[in-house]
Amino acid sequence: MADTMQKFVFEDATVRGELVDVSETWKHVQARRDYPTAVKTVLGEMLAATALLSANLKFNGAIIMQIYGDGPLRLLVVECDSDLNMRATAKLAEHAIVSDDATLPQLVNVKGEGRFVITLDPKDKLPGQQAYQGIVPLDGDTVATVIENYMLRSEQLDTKLWLATDNEVSRGLLLQKLPHEGGIVTNTESDLATWDRSVMLASTLRQEEMITTDVETLMRRLFWEETIRVFDPQHPNFLCTCTREKVGTMLQMLGQEEVNSALEELGKLAVDCDFCGQHYEFDQVDCAHLFTTEAPVETLIAASPIKH
């Protein structure tokens, strides 16, 4: 079954919601690397959360959610573009030992130095334009609370998230109180009543129920008494954007001296994509081309044999 993103708004209040099922995308992510159970839980929740937050994108580009950790889990990355193409990966410290029931703080905030990062990266940047990036200390014991606190403090938006994942399923629900025209958040009696009621209803969801129930049924169970406008569903999917050209550009950024030094030691350079596992190789001739011409890498270099 295709992954589904279902957006809806409450007709009588400035409250919006989304339900997402990214289970197929989640299976693709897991197929590329075997993660410890606790890491799977956090990464699966981040996958659903990033899809939910992608609705805030007002441009052709991507949202990238990252957690930099100071514990056994050093990095979590999930990317979702405006077409709902997604990819995700995690990196553990060398020789890390992770218990199955490890919490988010135990994984990434052992010394209190963990960081949460959201990047909004337009696809077609203007000259000199930089991606928007918000970096804050990790504030919360779960992925949901970290994001809720970030949205409230950085975006001034009341946001609530419910996330559930296991080896097969990744689902999430988002509720958000929207600003009125002019970007000002108002708290009319109707808005507050609808917000409080919708959060109360969503809070009745149990993890097991979210994992075993499809998006359409969840929406019907939760909000059948509410007047909501439901939009056409969208369909997230796994898609990695790595290319040989991008790897070549990365090598160019390292500089010719460092690349030549690595070639002398290794004979050729091998790079594996952290997101999809695609294997790229550059020999001495390939690398020489990188530093002797400005032509795109892919037009210069035929793809080397790929090892799986």
Q: Are 248 and 234 within one domain?
A: no
Residue 182 within a domain: yes
Q: Name which residue leads in pLDDT, 252 or 303.
A: 252
CATH number at residue 249: 3.90.1280.10
Q: Name which residue leads in pLDDT, 180 or 16.
A: 16
Q: Are 217 and 295 within one domain?
A: no
Q: Are 134 and 283 within one domain?
A: no
Q: Are 131 and 198 within one domain?
A: yes
Q: What is the pLDDT of residues 57-75, one digit of tens each?
A: 777 889 999 999 999 999 9
Q: What is the pLDDT of residues 176-205, one digit of tens each?
A: 998 765 555 556 777 888 999 999 999 999
Model pLDDT, residue 303? 38
Q: Are 149 and 256 within one domain?
A: no
DSSP-derived 3-state class of residue 214: coil
Indicate the angle between helix axes 244-254 and 256-266, nearest 10 degrees.
110
**For the chain, percent of residues with pLDDT exceeding 70:** 92
Q: Are 83 and 225 within one domain?
A: yes
Q: Are 56 and 197 within one domain?
A: yes
Nearest Cα residue to 43 out of 30, 55, 54, 52 = 30
**Helices assigned H by DSSP within the chain:** 23-32, 37-53, 104-108, 143-154, 189-202, 207-212, 215-223, 244-254, 256-266, 284-290, 297-300
In this prediction, residue 307 has a pLDDT band, given cuts at 50, 70 and 90, of very low
> What total number of domains does the chain contain?
2
Q: Name which residue leads in pLDDT, 111 or 274.
A: 111
Residue 307 within a domain: no
Residues contacting residue 238 through CB under 8 Å, at least 6 positions apart: 24, 25, 28, 29, 85, 86, 87
Residue 123 within a domain: yes
Distance CA 214, CA 120 (A): 29
Angle (CA) 258 259 263, round 5°: 115
| CA-to-CA separations, 251 to 245, 248, 271, 275, in angstroms, rounded | 10, 5, 10, 18
Residue 305 within a domain: no
Residue 308 within a domain: no
Residue 306 within a domain: no
Looking at the DSSP bridge assignments, the partners of residue 63 are 80, 120
Distance CA 171, CA 32 (A): 20
Model pLDDT, residue 300? 41
Tell me the DSSP string of 42-105. HHHHHHHHHHHHGGG--SSEEEEEEEE-SSSEEEEEEEEETT-EEEEEEEEPTT----TT--HH
Residue type, 136: V
Residue 180 within a domain: yes
**182: alpha, beta or left, given left = phi > 0 and alpha = psi -120 to 50?**
left
Rounded average pLDDT over 136-165:
94
Model pLDDT, residue 137? 93
Q: Are 33 and 64 within one domain?
A: yes
CATH number at residue 129: 3.55.30.10
What is the domain range of residue 294? 244-300
Q: What is the pLDDT of residues 278-305, one digit of tens each?
A: 888 898 888 888 888 654 444 444 333 3
Model pLDDT, residue 43? 98
Look at residues 189, 221, 238 and tell me which one is the last residue of a structural domain. 238
